[in-house]
Structure 1
Amino acid sequence: MQRRENLLYVGIDLHKETHTAVMVNCWNEKLEVVVIENKPSEFKKFIEKISRKSCILGLHPVFYNYYVPKIGEGKTKSQALVCIMRRLVNIVYGMMKNKTEYREPITEEGQ
């Protein structure tokens, strides 16, 4: 079962020329406002911004625990996110190759 505090809520207000998205947490605290143009190419950037924000907030502990050491190694935030994306591709490839579902690794508290 998902814990409420591990969720990021995104509301989108659609306009003719731009779209405004507001990201809030479960306590209705505004985390970020993103304004994008009404172009297909902008939606990909929008999804990337949401993914980045959720990683930075540590909403998925497995990837957050992978992200923090990469930053500690001196990588930029963008480079650390590329590392996470590559890790995710490896996980999906392994799932497809072995025909298994995703099993979250067991992590100790405080890691």
Structure 2
Amino acid sequence: MSIEDKILDLNFQRKAAKVTLGVSMGITALTALNMNSRMSQLHKISGLVMLGCAIWHASLYGSPYSEFLQNRKAKGRGRKRSEANLALENLSDDKSISAKSAPIKRKPRARKKRLALE
């Protein structure tokens, strides 16, 4: 996996956003204890970083950007699966092998009877 693939991986970005949120929150909390001029500047900067990371983290769930990343990953999987299907079709046994398994049939749920209040 190349660096570009890892950076564009949705789960990697979610973990990175959570780590940066935690670090910036820790810095913000520690700088709040000692508010001289230098710590005040660091406190403001870390607060802005925390706000930016929160927006970034929120954009990774249910947004067009997260859908783009999921579709990008699914396309990569689709290519791998199509290559596997070609390999299965080219088997010399002439046996029918399906790469996809049949869905599991489940029993329908028993419905609760409603009692009429009369």
TM-score, normalised with respect to structure 1 = 0.25
Task: Please state which structure has a larger fraction of its residues in strand.
Answer: 1
Q: Which has the higher helix share?
A: 2
Kindly name which structure, 1 or 2, has the bigger radius of gyration based on alpha carbons.
2
Q: TM-score, normalised by structure 2?
A: 0.24
Higher relative contact order (CA 8 A, sep 6+): 2
